[in-house]
């Protein structure tokens, strides 16, 4: 045990990250045993990752919101409203001008969604930053208002079917296939290795302390291993033969004997990975990110250092809004329709994911990868219980208890480590 600790210390990995991965491993192990080996399978991991994407994308934005000592209760309702509006745009409005199935429909729709998200988010941020109305109140109002607005768009009717290309962004219908999944996996691996050694070179150039070389290799190896196993697992999930047959029939061809196809990386998961990388860069390597954390740590100090904290609040909520729009794209595309209850209770899932991922409500502390893992932990619990056949009310109880327990563990951990 002590040896393990010293290895971890040499690797300089975040202990909280280890804790979350351990929690995930326990959850997966238990459900795998209880379901008789159905849980940790390519099919279920594929489904888990697709179901996690929307909430995880929003959770990365919630990290910034909570780090700056705010909260956003409106994300689920805003997702519903943007989802409905995007549904109308692609299914009712654009086809009138462009014709059904026009290749620009999904582009215009997604762009309109992102614009709405950023503008509505910025508006809430303005109310909070400049008019100094507490975020809790502004976004509680937003929760009610956007949900009502979502109903108004169609007077409560569900919009379906959605544009065929748009639906690719959501789930099982839109995957990269085996070849391109490996291309993405290999590029990501190369990037990870390059980052590890580039950072080492910079530190050496400044004559700073660096980890032993074996530790750098071990870390790079772990990154590559995780990326490649993830791709391999998703590639191992095979498209049903009947579905491949139908694809060939649609093209007027006959399916070759014995052909199999793996799904590979879903587009929605690719979007999540891209969002995670970009948000991590923003958090760690840009002035904006630095100011977000400084403001969360000490708003007065940030202000006295010349940081415009009011405008910063607008930016943070605009980013949150944009990510809600991406969440709305993924969620509605996955379902293939837009209903006015889309995203109900998502605000709580998103906040819980960020908090389980180590974001402190007192501000100043949080990581993007933590929030994504937090979302995965929540979804793993929920899917697992659904698979085992736990009643819905009991599922809620368990998730609620886990949330409170996770935060308590986090408090104890912080007190122990003095951070």
Applying CB under 8 A, which residues contact other proteins? 202-203, 205-206, 208, 281, 285-287, 289-291, 293-298, 300-307, 364-365, 418-419
The residue among 151 and 413 lying less far from other proteins, judged by its C-beta, is: 413
Whole-angstrom Cα distance, residue 285 to residue 418?
Answer: 25
Q: Cβ of residue 277: shortest distance to other proteins, in angstroms?
A: 14
Contact of 383 with 47, CB cutoff 8 Å? yes
Q: Cβ of residue 360: shortest distance to other proteins, in angstroms?
A: 9
Contact of 366 with 97, CB cutoff 8 Å? no
Whole-angstrom Cα distance, residue 139 to residue 128?
Answer: 9
Other beta carbons within 10 angstroms of residue 267's beta carbon come to 19
DSSP assignments along 289-315, one per residue: HHHHHHHHH-HHHHHHTT--HHHHHHH
Contact of 47 with 404, CB cutoff 8 Å? no
Q: Cβ of residue 68: shortest distance to other proteins, in angstroms?
A: 12
Reported residue count of the chain is: 419
The residue among 55 and 294 lying less far from other proteins, judged by its C-beta, is: 294
The residue among 7 and 281 lying less far from other proteins, judged by its C-beta, is: 281
Q: Cβ of residue 276: shortest distance to other proteins, in angstroms?
A: 17
Q: Cβ of residue 301: shortest distance to other proteins, in angstroms?
A: 4
Q: Cβ of residue 346: shortest distance to other proteins, in angstroms?
A: 28
Q: Cβ of residue 310: shortest distance to other proteins, in angstroms?
A: 11
Whole-angstrom Cα distance, residue 52 to residue 373?
Answer: 10
- At 195, list the tokens: 């980052």
The residue among 300 and 391 lying less far from other proteins, judged by its C-beta, is: 300
Quote the DSSP letter at residue 286.
Answer: S
What does each C-alpha distance from 97 to 100, 104, 166 come to in angstroms? 9, 11, 17
The residue among 32 and 200 lying less far from other proteins, judged by its C-beta, is: 200
The residue among 17 and 88 lying less far from other proteins, judged by its C-beta, is: 17
Omega into 161 within 30° of 0, i.e. cis?
yes
The residue among 19 and 297 lying less far from other proteins, judged by its C-beta, is: 297
């Amino acid at each position: 045990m002590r040896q393990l600790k010293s290895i971890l210390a040499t690797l300089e990995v975040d202990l909280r990250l280890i804790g979350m991965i351990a929690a995930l491993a326990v959850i997966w192990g238990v459900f795998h045993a209880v379901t008789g080996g159905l849980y940790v399978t390519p099919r279920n991991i594929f489904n888990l990752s697709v179901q996690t994407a929307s909430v995880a994308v929003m959770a990365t934005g919630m990290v910034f919101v909570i780090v700056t000592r705010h909260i956003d209760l409106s994300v689920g309702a805003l997702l519903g409203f943007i989802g409905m509006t995007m549904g109308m745009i692609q299914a009712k409005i654009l086809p009138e001008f462009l014709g059904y199935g026009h290749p620009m429909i999904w582009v215009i729709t997604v762009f309109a969604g992102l614009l709405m998200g950023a503008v509505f988010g910025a508006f809430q941020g303005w109310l909070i930053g400049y008019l100094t109305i507490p975020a809790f109140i502004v976004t509680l109002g937003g929760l009610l208002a956007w949900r009502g607005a979502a109903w108004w768009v169609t007077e409560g009717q569900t919009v379906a079917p959605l544009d065929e290309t748009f639906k690719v962004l959501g789930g099982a219908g839109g995957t990269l296939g085996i070849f391109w999944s490996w291309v993405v996996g290999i590029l990501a691996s190369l990037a990870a290795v390059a980052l590890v050694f580039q950072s080492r070179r910079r530190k050496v150039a400044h004559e700073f302390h660096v980890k032993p070389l074996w530790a750098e290799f071990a870390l790079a190896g772990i990154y590559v291993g995780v990326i490649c196993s993830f791709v391999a697992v998703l590639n191992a999930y095979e498209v049903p033969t009947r579905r491949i047959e139908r694809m060939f029939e649609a093209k007027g061809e006959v399916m070759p004997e014995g052909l199999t196809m793996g799904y590979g990386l879903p587009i929605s998961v690719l979007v999540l990975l891209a969002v995670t990388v970009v948000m991590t860069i923003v958090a760690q390597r840009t002035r904006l990110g630095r100011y977000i954390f400084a403001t969360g740590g000490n708003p007065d100090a940030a202000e006295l250092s010349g940081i415009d904290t009011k405008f910063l609040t607008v930016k943070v909520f605009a980013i949150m809004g944009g990510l809600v729009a991406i969440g709305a794209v993924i969620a509605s595309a996955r379902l293939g329709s837009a209903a006015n209850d889309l995203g109900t209770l998502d605000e709580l899932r998103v906040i819980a994911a960020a908090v389980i991922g180590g974001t402190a409500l007192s501000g100043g502390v949080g990581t993007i990868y933590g929030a994504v893992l937090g979302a995965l932990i929540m979804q793993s619990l929920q899917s697992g219980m659904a698979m085992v056949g736990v009643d819905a009310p009991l599922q809620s109880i368990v998730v609620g208890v886990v949330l409170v327990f996770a935060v308590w563990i986090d408090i104890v951990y912080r007190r122990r480590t003095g951070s």
